[in-house]
Amino acid sequence: MTRHNVHLFRLATLYILFAATASAQTKPVPPPRPTEAGADAKVPTVQEREEAKEEPKLPRIDLPEFVITGVARFDPPDIQKVSVEEDGIYRRTGMAQPGVRDVATVELGTRPKERFFRPPGRSFFGVATASYGSFVSPFAFARFGQDLGTLEYALEAQYHRTKGFQKYADRSGGKFAATSAVNLNSASSWLDEAELSGRLGLGSEKYRFYGSIDPTFTRTLGHFDIGGSFVSGKESPIGYKLRTSFKNFSIQDSSEKSRENAFYLGIQGEKSIGSIGIRSGVDFTLTSVGSATDHTLSMTSLYLGTSRTWLKNLFVEIGARYVAARGMENQRISRLAPRAAIGYWFSGMHTVSVTYESAVRFISLQNQIARSPFLNAQSVLKHATDRYVVEGALDSDWNRWLSSRFSVRRSRIDHVPILRDSARTGVWSLSYRGLTDLTTARVGAFANISANDYFAVVVEGNHSRNPSTNGKIPYLPEVEATVRYSHRFSFGLSVTPALQYVHHRPVSADSSGRLPGFLLTSFALELSGIRSLTIFARADNVLDKQYEVWQRYRGLPFAATFGLSYRW
């Protein structure tokens, strides 16, 4: 395609996206966040806490998931439902994510969500989605399920492929998953309404190290997981949850093969004593990782503490966790990790809180490759330890439609995984260099401006100190920002423009090199209300800015995706 034709395609796409703006229609106002607190508040059970996770929360800055090219993805971060909690100091960094999440596309196995989108009076439910994007990028997704009263099951399949926006940037993959759940009926209050569920999943993905010294270097990832859980009913004397899983993760890098087998077992319980909830739990993880030689990683933790307890306008939460862990290179961890939180609600709209905690974060090959897709599979894996984390926060509900959160977090972390380039330029490995002090300030707000309009903004700043790395953590930006606005029109059209800014990022702990900052713009449309059909379109990197996600790995240029989804 000539440069002239590329510009014509871009202009035509933008015209289609912006042409569908007209008169507005009322839609249901999302429920306001709860602000009332009382000393007699009922302590929720484990199951109720799981359901409560669906409440709207402030978003976190979360750059789109790793995408090599313009592949439509259907679970981008929902700005109202992404927790402000983060997994370690690294958040997912990647390329602009094409595709719009259809309203019926929900995480497999989350029964409350599936029931919300299921037409009343029907036992069958599901969704089928297909799209086509720039750079020859087809995508297909389907889910089928059936509710038989006390028994429910669902099957899910997905396929994606793209030729890529540059040579060797092609990518393809697919996955399949099956879940089932059964509600028990028993004369025993311990078992009545308890839920027994299971999951089976497998998938494969293939891509190239297109920014490395050998761009033909190909990686194939495979995964297989099986697991189950048993959750108590609401009338059980003690709320409990049992979970277990086994995961196999395989990596084939051209002629090199690696694997990771992981087993997990967890038991959590909660008992209300008056207005205080006592929580306890045991978690055990055992992982075998390697190729010719296997390494064993493990973690065992025991927890005892209280749930958040309100005493008039004051809340308190205390607990402690004992952790014993083992990593590579004879890493041994044995420590008591306390946690304490206190907060005060005042003026009918503000809650100020202070939290102190210590923790050990389990590091596995699978979660590190998910964070850094071009990581060497033979990297050394050590668990990160938060010596301490202190966070002060101010949450405010200014009125029914405007909420905000400001927080400052200070942490001291041992064994932060530092990305380091190798002799095979463009293939990273991990190194560990003593203690790192990290300070993060974050301010965010979201507003249901009207029944038709929603706006959200989050800005975050990071500052780190470590004499061994000159204070730098590779690829951790000093400033990040996300802005999103959504409007719904009278004929069922939702329009969502968004901006994401990432400040410059150091590329090495040993040099002054850094990647320049970049600004990404996107524009999404979703037209629903045509029976059970939804039509969607999305344009990413609308301004066609050139940037690098990782050093020498170019980010996605302007890309457009069109598709439709049907649910039943």
Distance, in Å, from the CA atom of 120 to the CA atom of 476, rounded to the nearest integer, reads 47
Tokens (6 digits) for 8: 């014509």
pLDDT at residue 357 tops 70: yes
The pLDDT of residue 122 is 62
- Nearest to 319, CA basis, from 356, 282, 370: 356
pLDDT at residue 19 tops 60: no
Whether 515 contacts 548, CB under 8 Å: yes
Residues 6+ apart with CB under 8 A from 120: none
The pLDDT of residue 249 is 97
The pLDDT of residue 424 is 80
Give tens-digit pLDDT for 481-496: 999 999 999 888 999 9
pLDDT at residue 26 tops 80: no
CA 141 to chain centre: 20
The pLDDT of residue 281 is 97
The pLDDT of residue 522 is 95
The pLDDT of residue 402 is 92
Q: How does residue 469 score in pLDDT terms, banded at 50, 70 and 90? A: confident
Whether 277 contacts 311, CB under 8 Å: no
For residues 533-540, average pLDDT: 94
CA 382 to chain centre: 22
Give tens-digit pLDDT for 374-430: 999 999 999 999 999 999 999 999 988 899 999 999 999 999 999 988 878 899 999
For residues 201-209, average pLDDT: 96
Q: How does residue 88 score in pLDDT terms, banded at 50, 70 and 90? A: very low
Q: What is the mean pLDDT of the chain?
A: 81
Between the alpha carbon of residue 442 and those of residues 79, 354, 404, the distances in Å are 15, 15, 11
pTM: 0.77
Out of 46-50, 111-115, 176-180, give the one with best mean pLDDT: 176-180
How many beta carbons lie within 10 A of that of residue 543, not counting itself?
A: 8
Our CA dihedral for 444, 449, 454, 457, rounded to 10 degrees, sits at -20
Residue 534 pairs in a beta bridge with 565
For residues 41-57, average pLDDT: 36
**What is the number of residues in the chain?**
568
The pLDDT of residue 121 is 56
- What is the helix (H) or strand (E) element at residue 17, kind and residue range? helix 3-19
Whether 315 contacts 282, CB under 8 Å: no
Q: How does residue 293 score in pLDDT terms, banded at 50, 70 and 90? A: confident
> Which is higher by pLDDT, 7 or 53?
7
> Which is higher by pLDDT, 6 or 233?
233
The pLDDT of residue 256 is 87
pLDDT at residue 20 tops 50: no
Q: How does residue 56 score in pLDDT terms, banded at 50, 70 and 90? A: very low
Number of helices (H), then strands (E), in the chain:
4, 29
The pLDDT of residue 72 is 30
pLDDT at residue 100 tops 90: no
- 424 phi and psi angles, rounded to 5 deg: -85, 80
The pLDDT of residue 123 is 82
Domains and CATH numbers, the chain: 3-567 (2.40.170.20)
Distance, in Å, from the CA atom of 63 to the CA atom of 175, rounded to the nearest integer, reads 23
| Residue located via tokens 């060497």 | 376
- 454 phi and psi angles, rounded to 5 deg: -135, 140
Distance, in Å, from the CA atom of 171 to the CA atom of 132, rounded to the nearest integer, reads 14
Could you give the 3-state DSSP secondary structure of residue 18?
Answer: helix
Give tens-digit pLDDT for 511-525: 778 899 999 999 999
- Nearest to 208, CA basis, from 269, 248, 271, 165: 165
| Residue located via tokens 């493990």 | 298
pLDDT at residue 319 tops 50: yes
Distance, in Å, from the CA atom of 525 to the CA atom of 506, rounded to the nearest integer, reads 35
> Which is higher by pLDDT, 14 or 456?
456
pLDDT at residue 462 tops 70: yes
pLDDT at residue 41 tops 50: no
pLDDT at residue 538 tops 50: yes
Q: How does residue 230 score in pLDDT terms, banded at 50, 70 and 90? A: very high
The pLDDT of residue 10 is 52
Q: What string of H, E and C letters represents the secondary structure of 471-518?
A: CCCCCCCCEEEEEEEEEEECCCEEEEEEEEEECCEECCCCCCCEECCE
